Amino acid sequence: MEPEPVLESLRNAVAAMPDDVPLRLHLATLLLRAGQRDEAVRHLGAVLQRDPGNGEALAMLTASAEVTGQHPAPSADPPVSSERTVAPAPDSASSAVVPDAAAASPDPADGDPDRGAAAPPAGSPGDDTADGARRAGDDVTASYDWSQAEAELRDVLPSMFVGDAGSTSAGLDEARAYDAEHAGLTLDDVAGMTEVKKRLEAAFLAPMRNPELRKLYGKSLRGGLLLYGPPGCGKTFIARAVAGELGARFITVSFADLIDMFVGRSERNIHELFEVARRNSPCVLFLDEVDAIGQKRSQLRNTPMRSAVNQLLLELDDVASDNTGVFLLAATNHPWDVDSALRRPGRFDRTLLVLPPDGPAREGVFRYHLRERPVAGIDLAKLAKITDGYSGADIAHICETAAERALLDSVQRGEPRLIGQADLEAAAAEVRPSLGTWFDTARNVALFANEGGAYDDLVAYLRKRRLI
Amino acid sequence: MTETGDLTELRQELARAATMLDLGRYDEASNLLARVVSAEPGSSRAWCLFARAHLGADRYQAAVDAANRAAAIEPAEEWPHRLASNALMHLGNHAEALRAAAESRRLAPSYWQTHVCVAQAALAASQPALAAAAAAEARRLAPNEPDVHFLSGKVALARSDLDGARTHQERALALDPAHSGAMNELGRIRLRRHDTVGAIKHFINAARTTPGEHIYSRNIDVVILRTLSRMIYIFVLVALIMLWIPAVAHIDRFPFAVGFGVLVAGTMAGFTILVLRMPQEARRLVRRTLRTRRVVTALAVALGGVAAAFAAVAFVPSAELPQTLPIAIIVTIAARMAATARLRSTAGRNQPGPPVGRNQPSPPIGRG
């Protein structure tokens, strides 16, 4: 334990020379020895602000987190090393980690649109700690220096999974309708989901990749692939990966784009979309939330929407007959609402069930959503285990909730702290899986509407999970 | 931007919102409409669409508020009152709902939707005669509208006119073969006629047509549990009669025990025959239901209680029978009550309900 006068004089010296990195490091070392972790973290943060690659500061910061009982993952996720964080170019180790991280994150557009709208309060109603934190948070919010906290946290604390994520996440949020882009992803970038990949390979990719064999067996390229499954489970991301596998450009048509089509002259808009796809061949044309455009015509009262469906059918037949290198992919949460005409041979005649992420995929999703947050000691394997049955969007919500908890706690204590395993576990206990309603409907489909075995894979999954 | 440009933009935004509502995307529509009404607070149509979005998202008080805003802007427009009536019904304010529906009918008496609205509100307010009159007027104005016949059938069922209800629902189905609400109502009519198997067939048809509407499959579950409850009731009733036999006829233990065995076997055989008459999907559900812990507990309690009562009566000396018999009867009745309570805790409201979800046809809240 260092005597207080020494610390005091060092504090004064740092105040006089705030840019002196070695001095701050020395003070932080002594503060850590004296058990004054929070002040030490603050000084380490200041060091990293001035010298973001300072390995000593990073190591001390990680060590300080461990000291407080936030233990790092046993083996799968070693503590952040200065090499990993500092190195601007990906080395072999980091590049092995990062693609999975980015790959497993579901496209937000595929998730429940409500999820990100408002985060729930930290802690459950019966959680005294959380309630206390909230109450205390209310008391100190007015006096809390948010700008200082932000300044201390921003670009300072190393995130657990930092690496060169740019190459894999590029374009995820930049996809625009009518813009053909290279997806830059492959199925290897999709963490876990082995079964889905296998079925995708067999049903779609193998015939696409082997034109000679295809000719030999007389296999045509007619028809598209309809991805279906619960919301927030990565259908859009997989579609991008398929485009990457085929080396094709990727055009995504979102729900908002579809709505815009209905508002204008829908037939012309849809025709224009397919023309753009043909001009950009080889190209994957991905219709997200296709139930919006391909809804059973009997359910559509709106005349422009009916004509839009008819035009879509016409274009699909054109694509099938011309086969100009336009590969059709579509995704829906409700395949049972899709007009059966759209699912006839030559149109979207193959389906692929994309289920909630499996263990490795969940780890990947956690990794992705925590990678730019100040975290320490995260046991991803354990988190993946306790979130069985959660969608990717649910996991994103858990990360948000955990961040909120840590933030509220920081407000209460008056200084920032790292997000720990306990925050994430508490958030996981608080956030319930959002897929219940979808599975209720899926159960009805499996029990009553599985005519012709169209949903046999869904039935098998529900049986395996004892849901029917 | 010019005034014409603003108007065009507003129209486009409203068309976009209306499309979202048609697709059931209530939250996205709400977000869009919140922006529209803040930019154009004088647009009655925008407020009406906003009310419709709130209704779809089960935000009933917000729907009432939005509808009232629309009504204040265009007092001669019937649509806001219809929307308000629908939301007020969900809030349980049936008197106000009926008043709003009547106002919409006053403003547009030649519009069939306003009469359907009155019929629906009157039905909710337990005024079946008023509902029947409004439904009849709606049928006169729109004889080929399936929803009119659907609601007429519900009104007839509320008035215990089972034949009339069936005729209306069959007419609704003739006009729209995919009208799952009418299928569900036919199931409810069958149940009122104590035709369990027929009811389940209709519920299955409804669930097959609209899998997203969970009330149909829930109705099947409720019917299965009700059948089980009835089986327990009959079993206990017969057991209560049989318990008196040793006191009256002084028979031996062995024939008494055999009688108990026959009762158990007979009850099980009756239930099995009933289940075998059900469609395959329902049989699967029955198997699943029978495996749930609550149902197993309920059956064990009923069987155990009755078995204990029989054993007590069979094994006590004849001299002690007058003291033992009342206890055995109390045990049997208690077992039945406990078993039924256990089953009810599974089913919740033990009555098959009408469709309430957004996926099934309901009296219109959109603009015709």
Question: How does pLDDT run across A103-156, given as a tens digit for each residue?
Answer: 333 333 333 333 333 333 333 333 333 343 333 334 444 454 555 555 555 444
Lowest mean pLDDT among A215-219, A241-245, B10-14, B195-199: A215-219
Candidates A300, A334, A444; nearest CB to B217 = A444
In a domain, A411, yes or no: yes
The answer to whether position B191 is within a domain reads yes
Tokens linked to A304: 């422009």
> Are B263 and B333 in the same domain?
yes
Q: Are residues B261 and B150 in the same domain?
A: no
In this structure, is residue B131 part of a structural domain? no
Q: Is A331 in contact with A228 (CB distance < 8 Å)?
A: yes
Distance CA A274, CA A318 (A): 9
Proportion of chain B above pLDDT 70, given as a percent: 92
Q: Which carries the bigger pLDDT value, residue B34 or residue A280? A: B34
d(Cα A182, Cα A391) in Å, to the nearest integer?
27
- Burial of B138 by CB count in 10 Å (0-12 exposed, 13-18 middle, 19+ buried)? buried
Residues 6+ apart with CB under 8 A from A191: A100, A101, A103, A104, A357, A360, A361, A363, A364, A365
> Residue A380 CA to chain centroid, in angstroms?
15
Interface test with B, best of A115, A228, A259 (most B CBs within 10 A): A259
Task: Return the residue of B nearest to A468 by Cα.
Answer: B288
Tell me whether residues A440 and B214 touch, CB distance under 8 A: yes
The predicted-structure confidence for B227-257, as pLDDT tens digits, reads as follows: 999 999 999 999 999 888 887 777 777 888 8
Q: Please tell me whether residues A301 and A326 are part of one structural domain.
A: yes
Summarised one tens digit per residue, pLDDT across range B7-20 is 777 888 898 898 88
Contact B28 A255 (CB under 8 A): yes
Q: Is there a single domain that holds both residue A442 and residue A425?
A: no
Q: Residues of A with CB below 8 A from B214's CB?
A: 440-441, 444
- Cα separation, B362 vs B359, whole angstroms: 9
Residue B138 is assigned to a structural domain of this protein: no
Contact list in A for residue B175 (CB cut-off 8 A) is: none
Find out whether the peptide bond into B326 is cis, omega within 30 degrees of 0. Answer: no
User: Which residue is listed with tokens 């009404």?
Assistant: B37
Place of tokens 């998202």: B57
What does residue A242 show for φ and ψ, rounded to 5 degrees?
-65, -45
Q: Does the pLDDT value for residue A356 go beyond 80?
A: yes
Residues B150 and B195 occupy one common structural domain:
yes
d(CA B19, CA B35): 16
Domain end marker among A18, A42, A68: A68
Least confident window among A428-432, A453-457, B147-151:
A453-457
Helices and strands, counts by H and E, chain A = 22, 6
Q: What is the pLDDT of residue B178?
A: 86
Residues in A whose CB is inside 8 Å of some CB of B read 113-114, 117, 255, 259-260, 262-263, 292, 295, 298, 300-302, 304-305, 334, 336-337, 440-441, 443-445, 447-449, 468
- Shortest Cα distance, chain A CAs vs residue B69, angstroms: 26
For residue B338, the model assigns a pLDDT of: 93
Q: Do A29 and A133 belong together in one domain? A: no
ipTM for this model: 0.71
A115, A266, A444, best to mutate vs chain B, most B CBs in 10 Å: A444
**3-state secondary structure labels for all residues of chain B:** CCHHHHHHHHHHHHHHHHHHHHCCCHHHHHHHHHHHHHHCCCCHHHHHHHHHHHHHCCCHHHHHHHHHHHHHHCCCCCHHHHHHHHHHHHCCCHHHHHHHHHHHHHHCCCCHHHHHHHHHHHHHCCCHHHHHHHHHHHHHHCCCCHHHHHHHHHHHHHCCCHHHHHHHHHHHHHHCCCCHHHHHHHHHHHHHCCCHHHHHHHHHHHHHHCCCCHHHHHHHHHHHHHHHHHHHHHHHHHHHHHHCHHHHHCCCHHHHHHHHHHHHHHHHHHHHHHHHCCCHHHHHHHHHHHHCHHHHHHHHHHHHHHHHHHHHHHHCCHHHHHHHHHHHHHHHHHHHHHHHHHHHHHHCCCCCCCCCCCCCCCCCCCCC
Higher pLDDT pick, A88 / A423: A423
Burial class (CB in 10 A: 0-12, 13-18, 19+), A419: buried
The pLDDT value given to residue B349? 45
pLDDT digits (tens, 9 = 90+) for B115-168: 999 999 999 999 999 999 999 999 999 999 999 999 999 999 999 999 999 999
| CA B204 centroid distance within chain | 14
Percent of chain B with pLDDT over 90: 63
A:B CB pairs within 8 Å = 63
Measured CA to CA in angstroms, residue A18 lies from A54, A323, A361, B46 at distances of 16, 67, 44, 58
Which residue from A305, A441, A468 is facing B211, i.e. has the nearest CB? A441
Show Cβ contacts of residue A220 under 8 Å, excluding neighbours closer than 6 positions: A323
Residues B267, B331, single domain; the answer is yes
Q: Is residue B272 part of a domain?
A: yes
Pairing, β A225-228 against β A283-287: unpaired
CA distance B40 to B47: 10
Q: Domain span at residue A458? A: 436-468
CB contact under 8 A, B214 and A441: yes
Q: Both A205 and A57 in a single domain?
A: no
**Closest Cα of chain A to B76: distance in Å?**
26
Q: What is the pLDDT of residues B47-62, one digit of tens each?
A: 999 999 999 999 999 9
Q: Quick one: tokens of B149?
A: 């016949």
**Tally of domains in chain A:** 4
Give whole-number Cα distances, A323 to A212, A352, B29, B186, B294, in Å. 16, 22, 37, 49, 57
Determine, for residues B207 and A260 on separate chains, whether the beta-carbon distance falls below 8 Å: no
Which residues of chain B are within 8 Å of residue A292 when distances are taken between CB atoms? 23, 25
pLDDT at A166 over 90: no
User: CA B44, CA B76: separation in Å to the nearest integer?
Assistant: 11
Q: What is the pLDDT of residue B339?
A: 92
Q: Which residues contact B163 (CB under 8 A, 6 or more apart)?
A: none
Which member of B19, B217, B284 has the closest CB to residue A259? B19
Q: Are residues A426 and A443 in the same domain?
A: no
Of A113, A260, A301, the CB nearest to B28: A113
Q: B11, B12, B23: best mutation site toward chain A, by most A Cβ within 10 Å?
A: B23
Show which residues on chain B lie within 8 Å of chain A, measured between beta carbons. Answer: 12, 15-16, 18-20, 22-23, 25, 27-28, 178, 204, 207-208, 211-212, 214, 216-217, 281, 284-285, 288, 366
From B22, B214, B366, residue closest to A305, measured CB to CB: B22
- A88 in any annotated domain: no
B41 Rama class: left (phi>0) / alpha (psi -120 to 50) / beta: alpha
For residues A209 and A283, state if they share a domain.
yes
Check A302 against B207: CB less than 8 A apart. Answer: no
Residue A193 pLDDT > 80:
yes
Kindly state whether residues A382 and A349 are assigned to the same domain.
no
For residues B118 and B82, give the distance between their C-alpha atoms in angstroms, rounded to a whole number.
9
Q: Mutate one of B16, B19, B367 to test the A interface: name it (highest A CB count within 10 A).
A: B19
Burial of A205 (0-12, 13-18, 19+ CB in 10 A): middle
Domain of B152 in residue numbering reads as 143-212
Backbone angles phi, psi at A435, to 5 degrees: -90, 0
B338: its two tokens? 């406990």
Q: Is A250 helix (H, G, I), strand (E, B) or coil?
A: strand
Contacts of B216 in chain A (CB under 8 A): 444
What lies within 8 Å, CB to CB, of A39 at 6+ separation is A31
Domain boundary among A301, A321, A354: A354
Measured in angstroms, the CA of A442 and the nearest CA of chain B are apart by 8
Chain B: nearest CA to A396, how far in angstroms? 20
Residue at A239 is within a domain: yes
Residue of B nearest to A295 (CA): B23
Q: Which of A336, A448, A450, A458 has the highest number of chain B CBs within 10 A, making it the mutation to test binding with B?
A: A448
Q: How confident is the model at residue B1 (pLDDT cuts 50, 70, 90)?
A: very low
- Shared domain check, A57 and A17: yes
Question: What is residue A342's three-state secondary structure?
Answer: helix
Asked if A449 lies within 8 A of B208 by C-beta distance, the reply is: yes
Three-state secondary-structure class, residue A195? helix
Which residue carries 């034949």 as its tokens?
B163
User: End of a domain among B196, B212, B228?
Assistant: B212
pLDDT band at A294 (very low <50, low <70, confident <90, very high): low
Cα distance between residue B330 and residue A11, in whole Å = 83
In a domain, B18, yes or no: no
Same domain, B205 and B228: no
Burial class of residue A291 in the structure, from the number of CB atoms within 10 Å of its CB (0-12 exposed, 13-18 middle, 19+ buried): buried
Q: Do B299 and B248 share a domain, yes or no?
A: yes
Contact at CB, B20 and A259, closer than 8 angstroms:
yes
Residue B343 is assigned to a structural domain of this protein:
yes
The answer to whether residue A82 sits within a structural domain is no
Q: Specify whether A151 is located in the same domain as A287.
A: no
Q: Which long-range contacts (CB under 8 A, 24 or more apart) does A9-14 make?
A: A14/A43
Longest dimension (CA), chain B: 103
Please give the model's pTM, rounded to 2 decimal places: 0.65
Section A350-360 average pLDDT: 89
A224 vs A222: CA distance, rounded Å: 7
The domain total for chain B is 2
Q: CA-nearest residue of chain A to B178?
A: A298
Within-domain flag for B193: yes
Write down the residue that tokens 């059966």 correspond to: A340
Residue type, A20: D
Residue B128, domain member (yes or no): no
What residues of A are in contact with residue B22 (Cβ under 8 Å)?
300-302, 305
Same domain, B195 and B224: no
Both A147 and A64 in one domain: the answer is no
Q: Is A49 helix (H, G, I), strand (E, B) or coil?
A: helix
Where residue B307 falls among pLDDT bands split at 50, 70, 90? very high
Cβ of B16 within 8 Å of Cβ of A114? The answer is no
Mean pLDDT of B332-343: 91
Contact between B135 and B148 under an 8 Å Cβ cutoff? The reply is yes
Calpha distance A214→A206 (Å, rounded)? 9
In a domain, A253, yes or no: yes
Closest residue on chain B to A255 (Cα):
B20
- Residue A338 pLDDT: 84
Q: Which of chain A's residues have a Cβ under 8 Å away from the Cβ of B25? A: 255, 292
Round the average pLDDT of chain A to a whole number and report it: 71
What is the reported pLDDT for A15? 76
User: The domain that contains A50 carries what CATH number?
Assistant: 1.25.40.10
A443 with A430: CB under 8 angstroms? no
Distances (CA, A) of A163 to A245, B104, B186: 23, 63, 62
